[in-house]
Amino acid sequence: MRLSDICSRLNIPCSTHDREITGLNTLKDATESEISFLENRKYVSQLSQTKAAAVFVTEAMAPDVPEDVAALVVEEPYLTLAQASAFFAPPRLAEEGPEPVVGEGSRIESGVFLAKGCVIGKECHLMPGVFVGNDVTIGDNTVLYPNVSVYRDCIIGSDCIVHAGAVIGSDGFGFATTKTGTHVKIWQNGNVVIEDDVEIGANTTIDRAAFGSTVVKRGARIDNLVQVGHNCVIGEYSVIVSQVGLAGSSVLGRNVVMGGQSATAGHLSIAPFTTIAARGAAVKDVKTPGIYSGAPLMEHRQWLRLQGIFAKMLRK
Amino acid sequence: MRLSDICSRLNIPCSTHDREITGLNTLKDATESEISFLENRKYVSQLSQTKAAAVFVTEAMAPDVPEDVAALVVEEPYLTLAQASAFFAPPRLAEEGPEPVVGEGSRIESGVFLAKGCVIGKECHLMPGVFVGNDVTIGDNTVLYPNVSVYRDCIIGSDCIVHAGAVIGSDGFGFATTKTGTHVKIWQNGNVVIEDDVEIGANTTIDRAAFGSTVVKRGARIDNLVQVGHNCVIGEYSVIVSQVGLAGSSVLGRNVVMGGQSATAGHLSIAPFTTIAARGAAVKDVKTPGIYSGAPLMEHRQWLRLQGIFAKMLRK
Amino acid sequence: MRLSDICSRLNIPCSTHDREITGLNTLKDATESEISFLENRKYVSQLSQTKAAAVFVTEAMAPDVPEDVAALVVEEPYLTLAQASAFFAPPRLAEEGPEPVVGEGSRIESGVFLAKGCVIGKECHLMPGVFVGNDVTIGDNTVLYPNVSVYRDCIIGSDCIVHAGAVIGSDGFGFATTKTGTHVKIWQNGNVVIEDDVEIGANTTIDRAAFGSTVVKRGARIDNLVQVGHNCVIGEYSVIVSQVGLAGSSVLGRNVVMGGQSATAGHLSIAPFTTIAARGAAVKDVKTPGIYSGAPLMEHRQWLRLQGIFAKMLRK
């Protein structure tokens, strides 16, 4: 889609930098054919580094946009982003496209739905009620138990096991809120990438990225009823126990362990080899590997001390 | 069903106010063709206002029943209510009834089950594995992703998106416990009403009402793995983040925001424009809009102070 | 499989006690045709009592193995157990076996998958999208709502109701971690047994046992989105409210009540007639019935006092 068409559909001043636009992305990750946005002054320094073709900005921030990037001045950049996201949403379930490809030795049970363009590797087993969306790719020797749903464009590696009812690639929870309190959907045009040797529990949900990918790296183990928000990255061999909630853009290093019902707030990093005890809640980066507990999170031994202090209070 | 038949099936004294009875309801909401109940003395003042045809009451409370209402004296009114609820349960999946109606431009994929009496609007998309029960009504331009289950009698508006694996209209968690500790199911004969422009996350569950409706109002956004108990009301444009649990009969005003893993106890109200932080737990009404945190819930700034006090204790 | 074959496949010294082996089990529960393991010194006293045919042990613990039990000396017994567990995993979905048997009066809706060897009782109702695995047994008058998945070998009693999207018998979360931080799956070769008159909520997950059975006893009521880990036992008439998480091998007595979002750590017991309030977290055995709150759990009245102390601190 031409940049000029996008501006015209959004009813904003036409840019002089007209070119073909393929999608939206963050300032950091946008390529020369993508549009980005900046609403929060805090990130203004990222403007000078961006490779984006164009950026939705407020009038106040427009002067900071580099010369070779089109400044698209709007009142509420995030809201405009939401409106523009709809232009790039692929069809929910395309009836056109290449016939599904199924590798040798794979078993596709009755009641499985394979959408056009999907590619299933060798020796896979897709059980009844499984849905595989357009252009999904699945490696070899992977098992999808009954009633698993894999949304379009997602990638699942080899030697994976996905338990019944899990949902891979549902929309991330994204919207822009207007001044009157209504919400405009940010279409989630990214995907989910699950690497090899990953096991995913029953009824777990892994949301697709707004832009780019939500990633579960090689060897990770995810239990039942876990929520993985959009754009999360789960490190190699991490262990995520049941009912954990990872808010959007949480980045876990390798071999992170998260106990049952623990959680992360969004946009933070957890150091490799960190253990977060059951019910713990990370609200900022964890930079030093160790064992942490509590909500908000603290070093586990501090948390134990705190419980000791409480116990002493109760003995008085 | 005649009141006299109900009494006879329950083996309780026959009423003099015989008439046709269509269902059960609370004292407050019962119509002249419904039976209600009173077990807890606390609500005895509601007796005088009720429009119910009849009320299950204990002998002690019988004198407080207005003259034009039949007092059905039983030992354990709540237990009798449970027993009576079975009489009004509609068939789980009726094979008789009008053929499903599907509006122009709607796509019903293979593997969708449409029960008799359901009505699907225009330009909808029902993806594989979707179940739509008897007499369900769905508006225009609504999407049900794969393996969504919508129980009978529920109503979903226009422009809604329901993600994979979500369950709309499952039975609320209701039963009466006998003196010996066994449980008698209270059949959940109400429904769920989802208004227009609502998005519901993957594997979220919204229970049908015991009587009346569980309601999700216009423009609400509900994330993945959220539990909405029976008879809840979620206000317009409210935002319910992943893994929130709303206990039965929670009433949220408009634009309430509930952070991840937060919760409400049952039978309480949250003021419009209130924010409950992640992991917060409302155990009583929130009457003043604001930001609240903690379990039990307090003003967010108080919660911050409390964390400061704890941190100080640990530095000693 | 002969013990000698197992040793040979695992590349460990061949035992002198060769015999037919039918599976793996704990020291306590292993029969004379099963292999067990011991890694943790803490349980060394169980060695003298075991009936197991053979035990994976470290060299240091080998002398404690009784004479009539084969000591299979390995470096990491738990890891070897994981490797051996794969030998006993039954086929995921066997195409051979007796035709499914469906009792009189049962309704099997379209889109239901019945695997070979399953037996459905009388007057049951299996709704669209239900999956029933090999050799599953279901009693009379039991209802499975749409898109329920029941993995192979599970047993569901009579008069049960399982709501939409629930998963019965998914793999427990079990693996042995190697010195380099990778994980080896412990195949979950047990099953789930659900006794009569049990109701299970929508999208709840109940994991199969590693060995033996995960058990939900007669009359229990389980709400939506609950996680029941492998080898748990839920007592008669217990009430498990939404979003509760029971870690593996939690044993609940009869009439235990667990409030919303509460949890147990693994390998502990909760006394009959105990109530754990919403959000409570049991981290050790509860030996005395009562009402408990908090994380970690304490007597409810102590928890109330603690909240009072906090409130007082905030008033200063």
CATH of the domain at B30: 3.40.1390.10
Residue B306 lies in a domain: no
- Residue-level pLDDT at C15: 66
* C260: contact with B, CB 8 A cutoff: yes
User: Which of C164, C224, C255 lies at the smallest CB-CB distance from B149?
Assistant: C164
Asked if B145 and B163 count as a contact pair (C-beta separation under 8 A), the reply is yes
Domain for residue B312, yes or no?
no
Interface of C with A in 142-161 (CB under 8 A): 147, 149, 151
Within 8 A by CB and 6+ apart from B67, the residues are none
Question: Does the N-terminal peptide bond of residue A296 adopt cis geometry, omega within 30 degrees of 0?
Answer: yes
Give the mean model confidence (pLDDT) for residues C14-29.
89
Cα dihedral: C22, C26, C31, C33 (round 10): 30
Which of C128, C279, C313 has the CB atom closest to B113's CB atom? C128
Is A238 an 8 Å CB contact of chain B? no
Whether A113 maps to a domain, the answer reads: yes
> What pLDDT was estimated at residue B43?
86
CA triple B211-B135-B142, angle to 5 deg:
100
pLDDT at position B217 over 90: yes
- The set of residues, in sequence order, having a beta carbon less than 8 Å from that of A108 and lying 6+ positions away, is A102, A114, A120, A126
Q: Is A293 exposed, middle or buried (0-12, 13-18, 19+ CB in 10 A)?
A: buried
In a domain, A135, yes or no: yes
Q: How confident is the model at residue B15 (pLDDT cuts 50, 70, 90)?
A: low
Task: For residue C182, list chain A residues with Cβ-Cβ distance below 8 A.
Answer: 219, 237
CA atoms within 13 A on the CB side of B179: 3
CB contact under 8 A, B237 and A295: no
Three-state SS letters, chain A: CEHHHHHHHHCCCCCCCCCECCEECCCCCCCCCEEEECCCHHHHHHHHHCCCCEEEECHHHHHHCCCCCEEEECCCHHHHHHHHHHHHCCCCCCCCCCCCEECCCCEECCCCEECCCCEECCCCEECCCCEECCCCEECCCCEECCCCEECCCCEECCCCEECCCCEEEECCCCEEECCCCCEEECCCCCEEEECCCCEECCCCEEECCCCCEEEECCCCEECCCCEECCCCEECCCCEECCCCEECCCCEECCCCEECCCCEECCCCEECCCCEECCCCEECCCECCCCEEECCCCEEHHHHHHHHHHHHHHHHC
Q: Two tokens at A121? A: 């590797």
Q: How far is B15 from chain C (nearest CA, A)?
A: 32
Q: Which residue of A lies nearest to B124 if distances are taken between CA atoms?
A: A92
**Residue C227 sits at the chain B interface (C-beta within 8 Å):** no
**3 state DSSP class of C126:** strand
Check whether residue A116 and residue A240 sit in a common domain: yes
Q: Which residues of A touch B110 (CB under 8 A)?
A: 113
Q: Give the active site residue among A125, A163, A230, A267.
A: A230
* pLDDT in the model for residue C14: 76
List the single residue in A with minimal CA-CA distance to C283.
A278
Lowest-confidence pick of C39-53, C74-88, C241-255: C39-53
Asked if the Cβ–Cβ distance from C203 to A203 is below 8 Å, we say yes
- Would you state the structure tokens that stand for residue A29, as one six-digit string? 């990750």
Same domain, C54 and C174: no
Q: Is A183 a catalytic residue?
A: no
Q: Closest CB to C202: pick one of B113, B170, B245.
A: B170
Both A122 and A270 in one domain: the answer is yes
Tokens of A229: 């928000």
Q: Is B243 on the interface with A (CB under 8 A)?
A: yes
Query: Would you tell me how many other CB atoms lie within 10 Å of the CB of residue B312?
Result: 9
Shortest Cα–Cα distance, B206 to chain A (Å)? 15
Q: Is B255 on the interface with C (CB under 8 A)?
A: no
More confident residue, B39 or C107: C107
Does C183 touch chain A if contact means CB atoms closer than 8 Å? yes
Say whether both C110 and C17 belong to one domain.
no
Nearest CA in chain A to C309: A313
Average pLDDT, chain B: 96
Given an 8 Å threshold on Cβ–Cβ distance, is A175 in contact with B310?
Answer: no
Average pLDDT over chain C reads 96
Neighbors of chain C with 3 or more C-beta pairs under 8 Å: A, B
Number of residues written out for chain B: 316
- One domain for residues C268 and C293: yes
Asked whether residue A177 is domain-assigned, the answer is yes
Q: Which of B93, B183, B302 sits opposite C127 (nearest CB)?
A: B93
Query: Which chain A residue has the Cα nearest residue B243?
Result: A245
| % residues pLDDT > 90 (chain B) | 95
Mean pLDDT of C275-294: 98
Minimum distance, in Å, between the CA of residue C126 and any CA atom of chain A: 14
> Partners for B (CB, 8 Å, 3+ pairs)?
A, C
> Which residues in C160-179 are b (16+ Cβ under 10 Å) and which e?
bbbbbbbbbbbbbbbbbbee
What is the band of B40 on the pLDDT scale with cuts at 50, 70, 90? confident
What tens digit of pLDDT does each residue of C123-176 get? 999 999 999 999 999 999 999 999 999 999 999 999 999 999 999 999 999 999
Tell me which residue in B203, B295, B305 faces C203 most closely, judged by beta carbons: B203
Sheet holding B281-282, edge to edge: B113-114, B131-132, B149-150, B167-170, B205-207, B227-228, B245-246, B263-264, B281-282
Please report which confidence band the pLDDT of residue C316 belongs to, taking 50, 70 and 90 as the band edges: confident
- B16: pLDDT strictly greater than 80: no
> From the list A129, A173, A305, which residue is nearest B241 (CB)?
A173
B302/C279 CB distance under 8 A: no
CB contact under 8 A, C260 and B247: yes
* Residue A15 confidence (pLDDT): 66
What confidence score (pLDDT) does residue C41 get?
85
Contact, B171 vs B189, CB < 8 A? no
Residues B115 and B236 in one domain: yes
Query: What is the Cα–Cα distance from A134 to A98, expressed in whole angstroms?
Result: 10
Residue B31 counted as domain residue:
yes
Name the minimum distance, in Å, from the CA of A69 to any CA of chain B.
34
Instruction: Single out the residue in C27, C62, C88 at which a domain terminates.
Output: C88
Chosen domain end from C37, C53, C88: C88
A101 touches chain B (CB under 8 A): no
Give the pLDDT confidence of B149-202 residue by residue, as tens digits. 999 999 999 999 999 999 999 999 999 999 999 999 999 999 999 999 999 999
Range of the domain at C59: 3-88
* Same domain assignment for residues B212 and B276: yes
User: Average pLDDT for residues C238-244, to the nearest whole number?
Assistant: 98
List the single residue in A243, A247, A296 with the smallest CB-CB distance to B307: A296
C295/A279 CB distance under 8 A: yes
Out of A149, A181, A309, whose CB is closest to B164?
A: A149
Q: How far is CA B170 from the centre of its chain?
A: 9
Residue B60 and residue B119 in one domain: no
* Pairing of the two strands C221-222 and A175-177: unpaired
Task: Please calculate the CA angle B121-B124-B130 and round it to the nearest 5 degrees.
Answer: 105
Please check whether residues C123 and C180 belong to one and the same domain.
yes
* A274 in contact with chain C, both atoms CB, cutoff 8 A: no
Tokens representing B65?
Answer: 């029943």
A242 and C225 in contact by Cβ < 8 A?
Answer: no
Phi, psi values for residue C281, rounded to 5°: -135, 105
**How many beta-carbon contacts under 8 Å exist across A and C?**
124
Q: Are residues B196 and B143 in the same domain?
A: yes
Contact list, A146 vs chain C (CB under 8 Å): 113, 131, 149
Contact A193, A174 (CB under 8 A): no
Whether B242 sits inside 8 A of A129 (CB atoms) is: no
pLDDT tens digits in sequence order for chain A, 316 residues long: 999 999 999 999 876 778 999 999 999 999 999 999 998 888 888 999 999 999 999 999 999 999 999 999 999 999 999 999 999 999 999 999 999 999 999 999 999 999 999 999 999 999 999 999 999 999 999 999 999 999 999 999 999 999 999 999 999 999 999 999 999 999 999 999 999 999 999 999 999 999 999 999 999 999 999 999 999 999 999 999 999 999 999 999 999 999 999 999 999 999 999 999 999 999 999 999 999 999 999 999 999 999 999 999 999 8
The reply to whether C18 and C58 lie within a common domain is: yes
Domain annotation covers residue B242: yes
Q: Is residue B78 part of a domain?
A: yes
CATH assignment of the domain containing A154: 2.160.10.10
Q: What percent of chain C has pLDDT over 90?
A: 95
Label residue C204 by pLDDT band (50, 70, 90): very high
From B63, B88, B113, the end of a domain falls on B88
Q: Is A121 on the interface with C (CB under 8 A)?
A: no
CB-CB neighbors (< 8 A) of A147 in chain C: 129, 131, 147, 149, 165
Asked if pLDDT for residue C301 goes beyond 70, the answer is yes
Q: How far is CA B259 from CA A204, A263, A266, B25, in A?
A: 19, 12, 11, 33
Across the interface, do A237 and C181 touch by the CB < 8 Å criterion?
yes
SS (H, E, C) C21-68: CCEECCCCCCCCCEEEECCCHHHHHHHHHCCCCEEEECCCCHHHCCCC
Same domain, A83 and A111: no
Report CB contact under 8 Å: C313, B306.
yes
Chain B interface includes A203 (CB < 8 A): yes
Q: Note the Cα B229 to chain centre separation in Å.
A: 5
CB contacts of C202 in chain B (<8 Å) are 149, 167, 170, 205, 207
Looking at the structure of chain A, the number of domains it has is 2
Contacts 24+ apart (CB under 8 A), A106-114: A107/C93, A109/C93, A109/C113, A110/C113, A111/B111, A111/B129, A111/C111, A111/C113, A111/C129, A113/B109, A113/B110, A113/B111, A113/B128, A113/B129, A113/B146
Residue B306 at interface with chain C, using a CB cutoff of 8 Å: yes
